A and B are shown apart, each in its own frame.
Chain A
Amino acid sequence: MPGREIRVAFRGLPSEADNGPEEQVALVAAGATVLDLLEQLAKAPGGKASRVLDPERGSLRPEFLLTLNGRFLEKRLFDTTVLKEKDVVEVFPVPSGG
């Protein structure tokens, strides 16, 4: 079964987290969930995902949010939301400012 190409972006991290590209295309297996994608990315040495994923909790750290195709996705849905070809995932910190 062919894999799925997913566009992934890690936005708005401090510069000390600039240890990888802000945008990339990830190839995941058919049937892979959002959580599968994050765990796959976290294994890449030096990748930004390692900064935002909490391995103990198996999810994003509390200070990060995720949108799928421009809409928020709750963390509790990460392991049941199956990715489709050309999906766009953006991860960014809970915004500060003001």
Chain B
Amino acid sequence: MRDPMHGYMGRLALVNLSAGCVREEALEEATAKKWVGGAGLGAKVLLEEVPPGVEWDDPENRLVLTAGPLSGTLVFGSGTFNVATKGPMTNLAVISQANGYFGAYLRRSGFDGLVLRGRSEEWVYLWIHDGRVEIRPAAGLLGLDAWETEDRVRFELGLGERDCSVFSIGPAGENGVRYAAIVGDRGHVASKNGVGAVMGAKRVKAVVAGRGPREVPVNDPSALRSANLECFEAAKAFGTTWQWGTGGGFSNLARSGALPVKNYTTSVFPEHESMNGQTLRTKYEVRSVPCFRCAISHVKEVTVTEGPYKGFTGEEPEYEQLAAWGPQIGNTDLGATVMLTREVDRLGLDCNEASWAIGWAMECFVKGVFSLSDTEGLDLSWGNVEAVRELLGRIARREGFLGDLLAEGVMRASRKIGGSAADWAIYTMKGFTPRGHDHRGGGRWPELFDTCVSDTGTIQASWSGIHPQFVDLPPLEDVFDHAQVSRVVGDFSGFRTFDDCLGVCRLAAPHPKPLLACFNAVTGWNWTLGDARTAGLRVITALRLFNLRHGHDPENERPSARYGSVPVDGPAQGRNILEKWDEMRADYYRRMGFDPKTGVPTAETLKKLGLEAYAPDAR
């Protein structure tokens, strides 16, 4: 009898929505080693099964939901899963992760992943439990928001809150908003590049995984316990997240000129201390709502204790939501960020794209490009949070001129309006928008550059800064040195993408070394850091091949005019990342093994990564 493959359940579920049937496929060890877990298997399916000409809303697009080899193990925060698809913001690939419970429950129900193809004739949801996948009617769920969908599904299945994990699309995904997210477990999101819109195009309202009794086979449980504690210690030492959540860095971002303030019209936000994580957790009532087996427990529910939203209870805004619904829209009321965070998540929108789109619309309003007639009565003055709440609903329903316009995302909206307003929008020329910072500020140039050159539909090397020193590479010494920025992004690329393959929350395991030790303890593969990086680079390069096939022009690896502009005030005033952009990009290409002029992976790179069969001239 063959030994079991450690770290995997060994099964994928292939769901043909057009035919209404499910087939199982064994996951072989050779495949699992080449394409690791979450992001790896997703990239493989995209590259092999989605040919050029298949658009994001085509039934032949794939939506791949995969756990990683650590998902569902004793590793803290191992409920994470990955979503891979061709997304509507860029019409290129995306890999996007969500935390919570789904990744763990998927495995405990017997599967490493789901591959969704086709389009259902009627709306359905998928119920994954006890080693099988049921396709069930979802007509009764239509129009419900993400919270209501969770409640209704649990009621229908007769299950309690932690008996299953429900990830669904809200109205935004049903209505084809280009930046619709997949939302579950009360506020966790896979949000990038419109993965929720793809799910909606397939007429899948929700995916539901039962808690399940199955255990992930682990090679060395004792070593895993030790490595997990190392991850835990690294997480506690990582910035102020352990104490204050991701909002703990809010004021330091303000001091760096890296908060997004009123759509980058200024880089100064004096009210930052009244809106940071420290204030939020000190003033408001807070209770923990941890993810699967998480001892970090940075996820909280809060009740507002003062101000206009006193008594409002919602999930604690993460940094991204604090920035989105605070400085970016000119709001200085912390309670309102709690209200808008819940609104965005219930509607099933990506908070980053939504806030860039709405911030841009507000700038258009205060500068007279949009009249009250254009906004159909909404006063979009900076800080009008109730108008923002109303506008979010209109976007999710594609209601009215402005709701429908902004549902396309800020790049398309701004190009449609044209004139000066076209230059005020913040996005990458590929079509998606950055996360919620002013990346022109101190310490965030790597993320600006990474956002523009990555192949993942979001960042690939940076996250909460960039940490080459974690893997013994030289650190970023001068945060405004163009050459250093391209160096660290190129040389650190691969490590974070490997992390994205594993099925663990980044906040619970921010350091690549103990995380790799967990991976080795689970699988028994004894990989080095070099092996891990190679696996990550294989994913990135595979996605690049996919993107090039699907029409990606590397000339679009640039920021929009406003995104790449020079700050007019604040600590980073006058700093200009674009003055050496072409040199930076060529340097990045070289470090990644791409042709420095065309950005196409070289034959040598493809051979090194075992991707020769996918070479552009091998098609």
Contact = CB atoms under 8 A, between A and B. Distances in A.
A51 interface: no
A95 B443 CA distance: 7
B243 interface: yes
B321 to A, nearest CB: 9
A65 interface: yes
A71 interface: yes
B442 A65 contact: yes
Contacts of A63: 465, 475
A97 interface: yes
Main secondary structure of the interface of B (DSSP, over half): loop
B251 A11 contact: yes
A70 to B, nearest CB: 6
B246 to A, nearest CB: 5
Contacts of A98: 246, 249, 318-320, 323, 435-437, 464
B478 interface: yes
Interface string B563-605: 0000000111101000000000000000000000000000000
Contacts of A94: 256, 442-443, 465, 479
Interface stretch (B233-241, B367-375, B389-397, B401-409): B233-241
B320 A14 contact: no
Given A71-B573, A96-B464, A12 B477 contact: no
Interface stretch (A23-31, A33-41, A72-80): A72-80
B81 interface: no
A93 B252 contact: yes
Contacts of A19: none
B250 interface: yes
Given A94-B443, A95-B443, A72 B479 contact: yes
Given A12-B255, A67-B255, A96 B238 contact: yes
A92 B239 CA distance: 11
A95 B480 contact: no
Interface in B453-493: 464-465, 469, 475-481
B153 interface: no
B247 interface: yes
A95 B252 contact: yes
12 contacts: A11-B255, A14-B242, A65-B443, A70-B571, A74-B481, A90-B255, A92-B252, A93-B252, A94-B443, A94-B465, A96-B240, A98-B464
The 5 closest A-B pairs by CB, nearest first: A97-B249, A62-B475, A96-B239, A97-B319, A95-B252
